[in-house]
Amino acid sequence: MKISWFSLLLVLFVFSSTSWEALADNHDEFIQCLSHSNQTSSFYTPNNSSYSSILQFSIQNLRFNTTKTPKPLVIVTPVSEFEVQRVILCAKKTGMHIRARGAGHDYEGLSYVSEVPFVIVDLINLRTINVNLNDKTAWVEAGSTIGELYYRIAEKSKTLGFPAGVCPTVDVPEKVIVFTLDKTLKQNATKLVHKWQYVAPRLQEDLFIRILVSRLNSSDQDGDNKQTIVASFNSIFLGGVDRLLPIMQENFPELELRREDCIEMSWIQSTLYFAGFPRGESIDVLLSRIQLSTRYFKAKSDYVNQPISEKGLERIWNLFFEDEAKASQVILSPYGGRMDEISPSAIPFPHRAGNLYKIQHLVYWDEEGEKVAERHINWIRRLYSYMTPFVSKFPRAAYINYRDLDIGVNNIKGYTSYMQAKVWGIKYFKINFDRLIHVKTKVDPSNFFRNEQSIPSLTKW
């Protein structure tokens, strides 16, 4: 997959150092610079009637959509690569800090929030996708969403798919099988999750089974409300049901998968299934950028190298019965397969052989207020702390697309040392972190492109 990441091409421009205190006074000069550079793109300031709607359109996490959230001085929506270059040049010339926003999915809001005065470069207009069936590649502009990419591939082929987050395009059958089996504690959820740890990473490559664990409120025979844990085994198989059932019987008979549990659909329809859309939903929904629902949330991540015991799982479940965990979830995604075959140093992403699965920890809430947020964030931090003996060590690894500022940050207003950046950097990138610093220092020596967890440019170590 070849991705047109404009920012990677533009880091060669050198940023003249300017005091942070002066940045807020420079936005008029920035706007004048844009006006004089034959820009056809639009820009919005807080005085513009469309400013708030443009800013909020791509915000995924309500934690960063409050009255106290720092707002950009200007939002620019370029319509071409050339205009992106002009925005960068004007920002450099006037000393403005920039944040580039695609679809706004950064878990910590770093694409649209900064503690220093800043400009958002919103790439929403840069969404061209060209699919080449002959060499099974696509050129994807940086403002595109995964849904748009899925849709454009499906327009061209029924037997090509794109596994989000993995570069090679893969062949898929015209029909796939999906299923979701929900198991509560009474239905041996703990034993099944324990067994899954041994089975899922070693299954053949065309079968994927993940688990979503959450709290469930139910009623017993007397009508009394009860709380339990439900583990949802969520799967896709690149083949037919007659092949799937024998595989499951051989490898995971305890799950008791039946033919009637299996649903046949096209690969593109399976992307809607995994996203939670109802059956029969048109694939046109993949082209929509409107947020169906937004909530407050906090996320963290882990990697597991050794199976967690049943007793360990039971102790973890106990945390889900606390008040703040009402809308919490952990998602267990198996590794193995192709992930084990790629060298940890092949690309910046290092999490390869040796990982059984990845965990995404999530907690949601709907009430406003700092105290409410603090309670829920403290809960997920307790969960994260409790998980320490069960997960990877030296370093405790993390997944960068589940951004978590708790694990360490740069000094956004000043110099960041190697040792400070290494605290979070090796958790995301492990052995590749030093190489990434060398590259960043060469192409962006003034560290113009930066945020709280960007690779720093270092003149000294």
Q: Any idea which residue has 């590259």 for tokens?
A: 439
Active site residue ranges: 402
Q: Would you call the peptide bond into 395 cis, given omega within 30 degrees of 0 as the criterion?
A: yes
Contacts of 415 (CB under 8 A, 6+ apart): none
Contact 65, 56 (CB under 8 A): yes
For residues 96-128, one letter each, b for 16 or more C-beta atoms within 10 angstroms of the residue's C-beta and e for the rest, the string is bbbbbbbbbebbbbbbbbbeebbbbbbbbebbe
Q: What is the pLDDT along the chain (461 residues), one digit of tens a residue?
A: 444 433 333 333 333 334 444 555 677 899 889 888 766 678 999 999 999 999 999 999 999 999 999 999 999 999 999 999 999 999 999 999 999 999 888 999 999 999 999 999 999 999 999 999 999 899 999 999 888 999 999 999 988 888 763 223 345 688 999 999 999 999 999 999 999 999 999 999 999 999 999 999 876 555 567 899 999 999 999 999 999 999 999 999 999 999 999 999 999 999 999 989 888 899 999 999 887 789 999 999 999 999 999 999 999 999 999 999 999 999 999 999 989 999 999 999 999 999 999 999 999 999 999 999 999 999 999 999 999 999 999 999 999 999 999 999 999 888 899 999 999 999 999 999 999 999 999 999 999 999 999 999 987 65
Read out DSSP for 229-270?
A: EEEEEEEEESS-HHHHHHHHHHH-GGG---GGG-EEE-HHHH
**DSSP run (H or E) holding 435:** helix 433-443
CA dist 139 and 4 (Å) reads 7
Strands of 328-334's sheet in order across:
263-265, 176-184, 225-237, 207-219, 328-334, 357-365, 296-304
Q: Let me know: does 142 contact 126? Beta carbons within 8 Å.
A: yes
What are the structure tokens assigned to 146, written together?
Answer: 């995964």
Check: CB of residue 380 under 8 Å from CB of residue 298: yes
Nearest-angstrom CA–CA distance, 459 and 65: 36
- Token pair, residue 409, equals 């940050």
Q: Tell how strand 129-132 and strand 170-171 pair up.
A: unpaired
pTM to 2 decimal places: 0.90
Terminus-to-terminus CA distance in the chain, angstroms? 34
- The SS3 call for residue 416 is coil
d(CA 172, CA 160) in angstroms, rounded, equals 6
